């Protein structure tokens, strides 16, 4: 079976600054991959390239059979298969939780009102926020907003979920509730890529860890590499994180 996400020798620069200098990796179906590394190591950029929020300069990216690096790609088809959750939630402030969730199913997948409502209830139950279905984003805590953002992505039934430092803006006590939802998704077999600073969390749920350093994959392997890193850079990074 072909992998859900595949990077081949991906290069990307912002102006004169190279951010990705030949990155190759694959995410098979059902796998949870944690992308770790210092700020500026290129991990968020790599994640954003998957959904074509950034275009690459060289190499190729394939996601769920879509050639992402092809300039003629059907972006809307790609983005129906990819769910993405951001650090800053990005809920739509003028819409209720239900409307936030049902907007894309109704407008993109043409779901009728009743079906969309059922869908919203399903995904909200999944993130444990059914009682907030009629609330507006500003009435929710950061952790709740992030869980709604996850539910909103799930409502499109993506084949892969990308999480871009989704707990970095949250207080420690709110981080837990979001990580619990992600862990639950992992148990259900969702294919996921997490860019995260939560080392303990990565060590607990990731099938594979990829450590990026200066635009390259410096070390990768099972979660064991966090306990016994083989490169001094990862050793350093893990040490600083603990």
Cβ closest to other proteins, residue 53 vs residue 130: 53
Say whether residue 71 binds other proteins (CB under 8 A). Answer: no
3-state secondary structure (DSSP) of residue 157: coil
Using CB under 8 A, which residues numbered 21 to 60 contact other proteins? 51, 53
Cβ closest to other proteins, residue 92 vs residue 236: 92
Look-up: residue for tokens 């001094």? 232
- Alpha-carbon distance of 172 to 212, in angstroms, equals 25
Say whether residue 91 binds other proteins (CB under 8 A). Answer: yes
Q: 160, 181 in Cβ contact below 8 A?
A: no
Say whether residue 118 binds other proteins (CB under 8 A). Answer: no
- Segment contacting other proteins (CB under 8 A): 21-29, 73-81, 112-120, 165-173? 73-81
Say whether residue 73 binds other proteins (CB under 8 A). Answer: no
3-state secondary structure (DSSP) of residue 140: coil
- Alpha-carbon distance of 153 to 86, in angstroms, equals 11
3-state secondary structure (DSSP) of residue 20: strand
Q: 29, 3 in Cβ contact below 8 A?
A: yes
Taking the complex as a whole, how short is the minimal distance between the CB of residue 77 and other proteins, in angstroms?
A: 8
Look-up: residue for tokens 């991906």? 10
CB contact burial 87-111 (16+ within 10 A = b; e otherwise): bebebeeeebbbbbbbebbbeeeeb
Number of residues in contact with other proteins under rule CB under 8 A: 30
Cβ closest to other proteins, residue 103 vs residue 199: 103
- Segment contacting other proteins (CB under 8 A): 16-24, 60-68, 100-108, 210-218? 100-108
**From candidates 26, 29, 38, 104, binder to other proteins by CB under 8 A:** 104
**From candidates 84, 123, 154, 209, binder to other proteins by CB under 8 A:** 84
Name every residue whose Cβ is closer than 8 Å to that of residue 236 and which is 6 or more positions away in sequence: none
**From candidates 15, 71, 93, 232, binder to other proteins by CB under 8 A:** 93
φ/ψ of 41, rounded to 5, equals -80, -10
Say whether residue 80 binds other proteins (CB under 8 A). Answer: yes
Footprint of other proteins (CB under 8 A): 51, 53, 75-77, 79-80, 82-84, 86, 88, 90-96, 103-104, 107-108, 136, 138-139, 149, 152-153, 156
């Amino acid at each position: 079976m072909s992998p859900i996400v595949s990077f081949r020798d991906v290069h990307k620069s912002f102006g004169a600054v190279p951010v990705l200098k030949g990155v190759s990796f694959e995410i098979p179906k059902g796998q949870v991959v944690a992308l770790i590394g210092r700020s500026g190591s290129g991990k968020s950029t790599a994640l954003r390239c998957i959904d074509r929020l950034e275009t690459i300069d060289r190499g190729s990216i394939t996601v769920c059979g879509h050639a992402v690096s092809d300039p003629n790609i059907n972006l809307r088809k790609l983005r129906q298969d990819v769910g993405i959750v951001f650090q800053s939630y990005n809920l739509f402030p003028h819409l209720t939780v239900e409307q936030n969730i049902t907007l894309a199913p109704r407008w993109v997948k043409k779901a009728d009102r009743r079906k969309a409502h059922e869908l919203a209830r399903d995904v909200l139950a999944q993130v444990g926020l059914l009682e907030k279905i009629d609330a507006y984003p500003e009435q929710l805590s950061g952790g709740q907003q992030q869980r709604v953002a996850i539910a909103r992505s799930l409502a499109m039934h993506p084949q892969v979920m990308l999480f871009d430092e989704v707990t970095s803006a949250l207080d420690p006590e709110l981080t837990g509730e979001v990580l619990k939802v992600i862990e639950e998704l992992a148990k259900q077999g969702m294919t996921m890529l997490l860019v995260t600073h939560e080392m303990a969390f990565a060590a607990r749920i990731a099938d594979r860890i990829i450590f990026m350093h200066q635009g390259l994959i410096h070390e990768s392997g099972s979660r064991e590499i966090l306990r016994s890193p083989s490169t001094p850079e990862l050793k350093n990074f893990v040490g600083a994180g603990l």
